[in-house]
Structure 1
Amino acid sequence: MSGETRVLSDDRLWTVEDVAYYLGVPVQTVYWWRGAGKGPPGRRVGKRVRYRGEDVKAWFASLAVGVSA
């Protein structure tokens, strides 16, 4: 994540890169979650997948607290 700073607004749709940045995971992880039916809900817009910031935040808040084995 090369120390970049992004301003993620709920007023616009997030890209896969935005979601990965927000969650602190690699972009490929977001794609893997989507293919496995896990992860935040995204929607196709043409050829692209977009996410609503509020959906990503709600998905994260719904995760169990603690470390999984």
Structure 2
Amino acid sequence: MPTAKPRRPHGRWTYYILYEDILWPCPVKWEWESGYGGWLPFYYSPTLEFVAGDPDKAIKVGKGR
């Protein structure tokens, strides 16, 4: 029996990138990567590339924002 994958992280997440001396907030879209064995944060970089980020560096956006 295959193991079930864990739930996708809930809420709004962002990934901050320093590009040309500007800190850019990039919204995260979580996607399952079976090769990695977990959910990875994908985001559009300031150069409009769709990139996978480090899950430990993704930041959850609070409800008040």
Q: Under a length normalisation based on structure 1, what TM-score does the superposition of the two structures give?
A: 0.21
Say which structure is richer in strand. 2
Q: Under a length normalisation based on structure 2, what TM-score does the superposition of the two structures give?
A: 0.21
Structure 1 or 2, whichever has the larger Rg, is 2
